[in-house]
Amino acid sequence: MASDMCFSAVMQRKNAIMKASIGIDYSDFETGGIAFDYEAMMRETGYSLKEMKKIQREAGVGSTPLLEMRNLTHLSRKMAGKPGKGARIFVKDEASNPSGSFKDRRAANAVYHAKRLGYGGVVAATSGNYGAAVASQAAINGLNCIIVQECYDSQGAGQPEIIEKARRCEAYGAEVVQLTVGPELFLTFLSILEDTGYFNASLYSPFGIAGVETLGFELVEQTRELTGRIPDMVVCTHAGGGNLTGTARGLLAAGAKDTTVVGASVNLKGLHMASDRQFNRKSFTTGHTGFGIPFATKPDRSDVPRSAARVLRYMDRYVTVNQGEVFYMTEALARLEGLERGPAGNTSLAAAFSLAQELDEDQILVVQETEYTGAGKHVQAQLTFAKKQGVQIGFGDPKDEVVGESIVLPEGPHLIRAVDVDLDRLRRSYIRNACQEAQCNGVSDQDVVFLAAETRTTQTFVREMLNELTAT
């Protein structure tokens, strides 16, 4: 008898589908109403860092160059306005990977593991670069591949960047299932996993996150080789959290425990990512606060029961930049450094240009990744699409940008300013969400220890927050 495919029935089978499609029983790690054993889950990959580097190397992934941005550094120092300020800016050029982004690192591990376990294919739900990465690695490993995309609004309008990524996936031989905005994405994804018996190449599995650890490790090795020291600051574009989490874990594995880890997102405050009307009122499909804030404060909203991407464990600072600033830095990177790269990596570059001005000249700031560009990802394609959606484009001060209504390109580089997000507010929100989701009547001592680790705070901070929740 065929399974009931209505939404509620599929959701009830969610955990069983996940267990069959990824080979991990997440219940093994549950230790309390809120707590679970995060490090035990990460060890479930079964691969050491050395083994992951070997897997990636054999798939043509990793060992990407670390490039010094001398011209951008010079410009940043001029904007600093203070003698001795302006760190040396380096960029890890992940566009050199087979499909053109750091996501190849995540995909290489996941697809290798799927083949090792005997799965006939892989499935991923993503509108971003990860789809191309999974498709590329599936082609290398001789596996079938299905990518599920949230692509169009109800009027059939699709963002050029997403359509570009669909083309890329298809070029590698993947089947691409394109959907409109809404809950059908997760329903379709689960249904395909159940119907095909393929491997869930989730962005948020231990395999996906551990794959990025090699990036952080390489970054430290290369910085030492080029400068004789470890990076003082590493800036990572933050969306779902895997980028920053994996990189930070790699930094720690390489001994860079004093490196400041900064997350950077495009400010899209006020736009609802699941809103059909607002879906195309943004020019960035990833690396924005519509993902960055929710996934920081409620990481288990992903397509696995427990996400391995948990940024509050690792993030020292979180900043935002506006859309116009990222477009400006995309052009600056091409004009000043001869590198034309895609938008997501330039989010962290825009933040880094501002943050470098806070640091001393002898300090090292590394932008953790670049990505490929293409016709749909190009600045002009994005701005043209925005105009068609009624978004006003102009020059001025980016702080005057109204999300969903205007994009303000800075009149000069002195107007690029990274804006800090209150991390304690995010930590409080995380604790509140964890308690609500667990529906717990009481919080155990074990839960308190876990929440302190999750938020990089103290047990005292957690208990004070719990007392506030009880009072309200």
The total of other beta-carbon atoms located within 10 Å of residue 182's CB is 15
Using CB atoms within 10 A of its CB, is residue 158 exposed (0-12), middle (13-18) or buried (19+)?
A: buried
Rounded Cα–Cα distance for residues 17 and 286 (Å): 27
Rounded Cα–Cα distance for residues 162 and 2 (Å): 34
Entry pTM: 0.95
Domain edges within the chain: 61-98+207-420, 423-471
Contact 4, 416 (CB under 8 A): no
pLDDT band for 16, please (50, 70, 90 cuts): confident
At 471 the pLDDT is: 66
Rounded Cα–Cα distance for residues 234 and 53 (Å): 21
Rounded Cα–Cα distance for residues 145 and 211 (Å): 19
User: Looking at the predicted structure, is the pLDDT value of residue 276 above 90?
Assistant: no
Tokens for 362? 């002898």
User: Looking at the predicted structure, is the pLDDT value of residue 1 above 50?
Assistant: no
**pLDDT, tens digit (0-9, with 9 covering 90-100), for 212-260:** 999 999 999 999 999 999 999 999 999 999 999 999 999 999 999 999 9
Contact 82, 46 (CB under 8 A): no
pLDDT band for 9, please (50, 70, 90 cuts): confident
Rounded Cα–Cα distance for residues 301 and 303 (Å): 7
Contact 228, 363 (CB under 8 A): no
Q: Which CATH number is correct for 61-98+207-420, 3.40.50.1100, 2.40.10.10, 3.40.50.261, 3.40.640.10?
A: 3.40.50.1100
pLDDT band for 268, please (50, 70, 90 cuts): very high
278, 127, 245, 99 alpha-carbon torsion, rounded to 10°: -140
CA distances from 217 to 223, 240, 241, 246, 340 (A): 10, 21, 18, 10, 25
Q: What does DSSP assign to residue 212?
A: H
Rounded Cα–Cα distance for residues 56 and 211 (Å): 8
Residue 147: enclosing H or E segment and its boundaries? Answer: strand 144-152
User: Looking at the predicted structure, is the pLDDT value of residue 472 above 70?
Assistant: no
Where are any strands of DSSP class E within 3-70?
66-68
CA distances from 273 to 78, 133, 327 (A): 38, 23, 21
At 441 the pLDDT is: 64
